[in-house]
Amino acid sequence: MNRRRRALLSVTDKTRLGELARALAGRGYELVASGGTAAALRDEGLAVREVSELTGFPEIFGGRIKTLHPLVFGGILGPDETSLAQAAGLGVLPFDVVVVNLYDFAAAVDAGADEAAAIEKIDIGGPSLLRAAAKNHARVCVLPDPAFYDDFLEALAGDAGFPDLEFRRNMAAATFAVTADYDAAIADWFVGGHACCDDPDHDHDHDHDHEQILGIELRYGENPHQKAELMLPGEDTEDPLIGMGLRQLGGKELSFNNLVDVVAAVKLVDDLEVGGRVACAAIKHTNPCGVGLGATAAAALARALLGDPDAAFGGVFAFTGEVDADAAAELHARFCEVVVAPAFTEEAQDLLGRKKNLRLLTLDREAFRAATWGQVRIFGDVQLHQDEDEGFPELESWRHVAGPAPDAGTADALRLLWRVCKHVKSNAVVLGDAAGTLGVGAGQMSRVDSARLAVRKAADRELALAGCACASDAFFPFPDGLEELHAAGVRAVVAPAGSIRDADVIAAAERLGVTLMHTDRRHFRH
């Protein structure tokens, strides 16, 4: 590319704006900015071109329209250098980096803004710029929040002076999450404060028959169009999560999905036997992307990320021990939704607290266990209740049915993976060793496909599976899954008995020289 790179900046939150802009200018980028952002950059002594100068069209209606212009969006959405060359005849100049954050609508509403003031805080141009840049991440890098500046500046300092495609794709994902949350907050405000709420069909109040139950309205459910409420023991409206053994130290309010993943993450690490070590689980959509054990939180985190760090992007991280500065530095460099641990060192809390969207939670394990025991699924007026899938007594009576007898290290690996496997969506197959997971196959409709997925996850990271162990949450209905695992290097497996073809699977394990341990309990997770 022989043209000059260009960055578009239009921000409400001007945190570290000067630092970012100076770095861009230092790498030869031309800076283009909307009015208020341009003024802030000039105050920093930087040369900047205003959007209105680029378009030849002034900001109008008191700033309601600043950037909504084809010369701006053409420069963002032009898919490649060829199309940009064609657009040059129209005066369209390409943008390579788009730095935008949005009017703080939620803060205005929380501060008591009336309807007219709140509507003025509904950003139109900002989300449009963000979505356009995220859509065209093949060519454009978008930065929707100052929390991402550190990672971007590191990429900017590289030889290319521009982030690679993986980084741009991650920023696109983060951007669409930002705009979805923003739109959901606006939709909630309209629903919560306008005439539709007088309609009994929109009445989502719940009658709680016990005065000690607290109901907290959440921003939305699994998706922005779904209303949601958290109901939990207690009366402390200032710190309601105490009712489930959690205390929030910082970051945005927890969403429905955050809470579901936090419960999944804490229940997983709570099931592990750590033996004086620290355990870490990285959770996404309630499934573990990876689990690791280590002498420190940082070591456990590194091991948890070994198998599938890409899947852990935007995930929830749970620890059984105190999060220290080294672990915090690694978490700070990643996009995480939530970090939950019994405690954080002062340095770790200070570092992670700089990410204003990152939720930090401390955990009282005994209170959490008491509040979250048992499982309920609700379908309208129908409720399904079941006991907690609690404990692992089957590990006291597991049986060696094929292959070499497991040595102590292999037995430790099988026990760890069996405990992890319980927390993976069925059909579940987990590969690893005594220090953690190497590949997780989750949620496939056939067990052999889960085995293949677990192997592929490890292969994608070029992780050696020779001699590793495996856990399966239910029996192998055919020998094919075991054969796939053996071909990948697996040499020890723990799985429940119960298939009508158990004898065939045992014979295959004996023929292949695979250690096979049978349990009398399965751990389906639907």
Q: Where in the sequence numbering do the catalytic residues fall?
A: 135, 285
Nearest by Cα to 219 from 210, 231, 228, 211: 228
Nearest by Cα to 361 from 266, 246, 252: 246
Instruction: DSSP for 314-331, please give it.
Output: TEEEEESS-B-HHHHHHH
**Per-residue H/E/C for 10-50:** ECCCCCCHHHHHHHHHHCCCEEEECHHHHHHHHHCCCCCEE
CB 128 within 8 A of CB 102: no
Nearest by Cα to 277 from 309, 299, 305, 306: 299
Q: b/e map of 184-220 (b: 16 or more CB within 10 Å)?
A: bbbebbeeeeeeeeeeeeeeeeeeeeeeeebeeebbb
Q: Amino acid identity of 191? A: V
CB 459 within 8 A of CB 490: no
Nearest by Cα to 86 from 75, 98, 73, 97: 75
Residue 385, Cβ density class (10 Å: 0-12 exposed, 13-18 middle, ≥19 buried)? exposed
* Separation of alpha carbons 327 and 342, rounded Å: 14
